[in-house]
Amino acid sequence: MKKEPIFTALLFLITLFVPFSLFSQDFVIRKTVLAESVLVEYRGNAANVTIPAGVTVIGENAFYGNSDLRSVTIPSSVTSIRKAAFGECGNLAGITIPSSVTSIGDGAFQSCFSFTGITIPSNVTSIGGGAFYSCTGLISITVDNQNRAYSSVEGVLYNKNRTVLVAYPAGKQGSNYTIPSGVTSIGEFAFAGRSSLTSVTIPSSVTSIGNAAFSSCKSLTNLIIPSSVTAIGRDAFSGCSSLTSVTIPSSVTSIGNAAFAGCSSLSGITIPTGVTYIKNFTFRDCSSLTSITIPSGVTSIGEYAFADCNSLTSVTIPSSVIFIEEVAFAGCSSLSGITIPTGVTYIGEKAFAGCSRLTDIIIPSSVISIGSEAFAGCGNLRTVTVSRKTTIGDGAFPNYTQIIYSD
């Protein structure tokens, strides 16, 4: 049996994973079985960096958080810039993306505060969510006219046929923006962190609002969502702390996790009747919310759904609800009474913890299980009426609360 072929094969496999840093202390480059040459990490502290020729992929987090970086020269061999590759490079003043690049990953340039403008070259076919999130100096995004996937209108990034608004530059001047008619989708992180915007007009052509689309738009005061919209994504309006009113049409059937979390000025909101699940964190820390009516048809109130809504005085829970999940109403310190309907089978851990104004609770016999500390910290809870068949978790009620059995 000849040993040379085996030795050669082993040497080849080892070479695939030998860091380039053996030859250069600043760059860690690895070959992959797909014949990619991936820049895994840059370890240097130079202000001006030239990526070695032959690199085909700038890997995930390769330059992440490098505050020394001022400029980068990317070779024409690079085809992909992956997730958060240049994220948090706050002093990176600008970058020229070569025409060889076809994809830009999620958050690839997030929080590159010194960017003022960027050009998307002709061959890019994929730009991930939040690629330019929190680039607060970015005034305009330009797209090469030959690009077949994307376009730009007055510095705002769209897909080619302008049905998807991809990114509104964080540094773009103006407090008001009207989305053009014909746009059907507002993409992930499209307006996220645009602190100067006070109002956005959404046309009736829009059917979906993507994840984190308006998150942390701290100056946005009110919003009318047109009746064409059917879905609101995760974190869509989270952290919009000046938002006082939102009109959600009855056409909406899905509201994502934490969609309105941290909207601390929101005093009232109507949940559409087509929604069947109040998802996790949906209205958490809406500290100005005073009352809420959960529509019939909702079967589950998710974890932290209304947690820390400390101005909430009343909640109407319909008979369709089966699950009140963990920490759902925890910290609702103004909630003075609540009716748990027959049909509820599960009350999760700490579901009403810290609801200090609750005095008397009747738990229907349909409830099979009450989680531990479900009503912990309810200092005024005098009586709880409950079935003997219900499993009660440790510390579900304060020690001084009188338990009255319904059977």
Domain spans of the chain, in order of start: 292-407
Phi then psi for 12, rounded to 5 degrees? -65, -45
Between residues 374 and 11, the one the model is more confident about: 374
**Residue of higher predicted confidence among 4 and 391:** 391
- pLDDT computed for residue 4 by the predictor: 52
Q: Provide the greatest CA pair distance for the chain.
A: 86
Contact 319, 296 (CB under 8 A): yes
What value does the mean pLDDT of the chain take? Answer: 93
pLDDT at 23: 41
**Which helix (DSSP H) or strand (DSSP E) does residue 41 occupy?**
strand 37-42
- Which band of pLDDT confidence, cut at 50, 70 and 90, is reported for residue 7? very low
pLDDT digits (tens, 9 = 90+) for 173-217: 899 999 999 999 999 999 999 988 999 999 999 999 999 999 999
- Segment 61-115, tens digit of pLDDT: 999 999 999 999 999 999 999 999 999 999 999 899 999 999 999 999 999 999 9
Task: Say what the pLDDT of residue 12 is.
Answer: 43
Closest CA to 315 of 350, 291, 285, 334: 291
In a 3-state reduction of DSSP, which class is residue 205? coil
Are 102 and 79 in contact by the 8 Å Cβ rule? The answer is yes
Measured distance CA(301)–CA(234) in Å, rounded: 16
- pLDDT of residue 16 exceeding 50, the answer is no
Are 278 and 254 contacting, i.e. CB atoms less than 8 angstroms apart? Answer: no
Question: What top-level class would CATH report for the domain 292-407?
Answer: alpha beta
- Residue 1 pLDDT: 45
User: Would you state the structure tokens that stand for residue 54, as one six-digit string?
Assistant: 């032959």
The residue-averaged pLDDT of 211-225 equals: 95
Angstrom distance (rounded) from CA 181 to CA 164: 11
pLDDT at 65: 97
Query: pLDDT at position 388, please?
Result: 96
> Would you state the pLDDT for residue 34?
82
Predicted confidence (pLDDT) at residue 22 exceeds the cutoff of 70:
no
CA distance 6 to 311: 72
- Over residues 271-290, the mean pLDDT reads 96
Q: Which residues of 183-210 are buried (b: 16+ CB within 10 A; e: fewer)?
A: bebbbbbbbbbbebbeebebeeebbbbb
The DSSP secondary-structure symbol of 61 reads: T
Check whether 122 has a pLDDT greater than 80.
yes
